[in-house]
Amino acid sequence: IHEPARPAPLRLSCLLLVTDEHGTILGIDLMIGRRQGSGARGVEAHKGGTESLAPRAYGLLCHSMICPMGAGEPRRPRQLTVGDVHLHRDLGALLPRIGVKLAKAPMRTWGPRPSFTFASLRARVCHVCHRHSFEVKLTPCPQCGAVLYCGESCTRADWRRSPEDVSHQFWCPRLAQFMGRAAELASLPFTYTAETTRETFNKEAFLINRGLTRGYWTQLSMLLPAPDAPGLLHGDGPHPGPLLNGDPYQLLQGDGCCLMPPMPTEAPRELFDSWQEYYAWRGLGLDSPLAALLTFPLTAYHIITRLVPQFFPKLNIQNKRSLKIHVVEAGKEFDLIMVFWELSVLLPHVALELWFVGDTLPTKWDQQHFTLQRDGPGVSVCLGPGPKEKGTRRDLQIKVSARPYHLLQGPKPDLVIGFNAGFGLKDTWLSSLPRLQVGGGWWSQPGGPGARSRAGWAHLGLGLSFSASG
């Protein structure tokens, strides 16, 4: 059998990036080349010099001045600093044409420093034709403010879509109600609420100024992880089970003192209604940013203790001694898997089983099953179901299935939770509906401790969805 020759893999040979002084990306250009020896000129063309890069970088700079990628009016920098010695030299003869002054010396280093970060960007495109804000002026819908349009024609087209339940006329009042909850972000008790809910919030500077540059915090950043950052669960390294023994909150650690106090020896006496109550019980100051990473277990806690009793009182969920929960379309919450131990701290008399399901999960984790159990001041991890403890139920079963939810085989859960609000837009949604077996559908709940914190961090009211079986 003759197997056709495979093309040589492509590689990124050069990345040109234009940012402002705060790190907001204004323009980007990628140069793709094949591996050396493949006959391509992509890499070899730049070997030993950057003469061919200077005109391209100059063109990118001009385009970034006229149509900045990060939106906003056209602009011209007073001074340009270049991160490459050779490119800095070659641009010296080109910049006088556009009246831009070149810094005396190039940047010496590149990395996460408070003086230079990537400012958070918001994707702004027309909801119909998907033209970007740097191409045309976009205007929000005057009724809901949730979607943007480039003109009257796109507004009318979206309003009259067919079938009716996909038209903006159908969704506009629902989106208006959803967007109306955004004002609740201002009521969050954290000392940094005003900063993180501003339109100009610089997430990278927020993280770096607080020393949050390693562990789980790197997943919130566009910057390269610190050199000592541990491998993430989606990586290609070995099974990370042994790395998870000990302190379950070790990956919440910043560069300074310990962020998470030791686990309380006693369960909370009352159910929490707010982040402020939880922080006080946990010994956290309101200046602690841990809510950004604890939002997933705290959202699950809010569903179990508040939402399910409200919407499904017949389930009597608060008196159950064991709970099986499916986390569908799992993504970022799976990367923060150890922080779900906080559920066992908050609900110590409940045996919890979390089953993470999603076709984007790493295949090496498919069908994995392990148990987290309290082991002195820390937590021990064992493969498979752990030994039963007498007198207490402080264990957390974790299962993983790297497949669409409708292909999952197993017993019916007590709860199905979806943190990814875009699940309903996937092709597998209709196939998953019969398995959910919910008469009233899924709920979108922007409120609650977990959802509101996540909304504040992301600048928009991201909700959560859940269903209950029984």
Each residue's pLDDT tens digit, 356-399: 999 888 888 889 888 888 877 778 788 877 666 544 456 889 99
> At CA 321, angle to CA 251 and CA 346, rounded to 5?
35
pLDDT band at 431 (very low <50, low <70, confident <90, very high): confident
Give yes or no for a contact between 277 and 298, defined as CB atoms under 8 angstroms apart. no
Give yes or no for a contact between 308 and 302, defined as CB atoms under 8 angstroms apart. no
Torsion sign, CA atoms 108, 209, 229, 292: negative
Strand (E) or helix (H) holding 449: helix 449-458
The pLDDT, as a whole number, for residue 284 is 92
The pLDDT, as a whole number, for residue 355 is 94
Mean pLDDT, the chain, integer: 75
Answer with the residue of higher pLDDT: 93 or 165.
93
Answer with the residue of higher pLDDT: 132 or 372.
372
What the block records as the tokens of 279 is 């922080």
398, 401, 406, 408: CA torsion to nearest 10: -70
Query: How far, CA to CA in Å, does 326 sit from each of 69, 228, 237, 284, 417?
Result: 39, 33, 26, 29, 6
pLDDT of 452 higher than 70? no
Give yes or no for a contact between 307 and 445, defined as CB atoms under 8 angstroms apart. yes
In this structure, what are the phi and psi dihedrals at residue 327, rounded to the nearest 5 degrees?
A: -105, 100
**Identity of residue 308:** V
Answer with the residue of higher pLDDT: 193 or 204.
193
Q: Nearest-CA neighbor of 260 among 285, 238, 226?
A: 285
Kindly give, in sequence order, each residue whose CB lies less than 8 Å from that of residue 293, ignoring residues fewer than 6 positions away. Answer: 216, 217, 252, 336, 339
Kindly give, in sequence order, each residue whose CB lies less than 8 Å from that of residue 468, ignoring residues fewer than 6 positions away. Answer: 308, 311, 312, 315, 317, 414, 415, 416, 438
Task: Please give the full DSSP string across 396-410, using - where no structure is assigned.
Answer: EEEEEE-S-GGG--S
What the block records as the tokens of 306 is 């508040």
pLDDT of 428 higher than 60? yes
Kindly give, in sequence order, each residue whose CB lies less than 8 Å from that of residue 355, ignoring residues fewer than 6 positions away. Answer: 324, 325, 326, 327, 399, 400, 401, 408, 410, 413
**Identity of residue 192:** Y
- Look at 195-199, 315-319, 403-407 and tell me which has the smallest mean pLDDT: 195-199
Q: Nearest-CA neighbor of 406 among 448, 362, 359, 371?
A: 359
State the residue for tokens 């906080």. Answer: 342
Share of the chain above pLDDT 70, in %: 72
Rounded to whole angstroms, the Cα distance separating 419 from 336 reads: 13
The pLDDT, as a whole number, for residue 455 is 30
pLDDT in tens, 41-77: 333 344 444 457 899 999 999 888 888 775 566 778 8
24, 289, 199, 453: CA torsion to nearest 10: 130
What the block records as the tokens of 450 is 């977990």
Please tell me which of 31-40, 115-124, 393-402 the model is most confident about, judged by mean pLDDT. Answer: 393-402
The pLDDT, as a whole number, for residue 123 is 57
The neighbouring-strand residues paired with 352 are 323, 396
Rounded to whole angstroms, the Cα distance separating 2 from 202 reads: 55
**Identity of residue 398:** I
Give yes or no for a contact between 362 and 402, defined as CB atoms under 8 angstroms apart. yes
The pLDDT, as a whole number, for residue 264 is 81
Strand (E) or helix (H) holding 446: none
pLDDT of 407 higher than 60? yes
Strand-pair category, 369-375 with 378-383: antiparallel
pLDDT in tens, 218-252: 877 765 444 444 444 444 433 344 346 778 888 88
What the block records as the tokens of 411 is 């017993």
Give yes or no for a contact between 375 and 418, defined as CB atoms under 8 angstroms apart. no
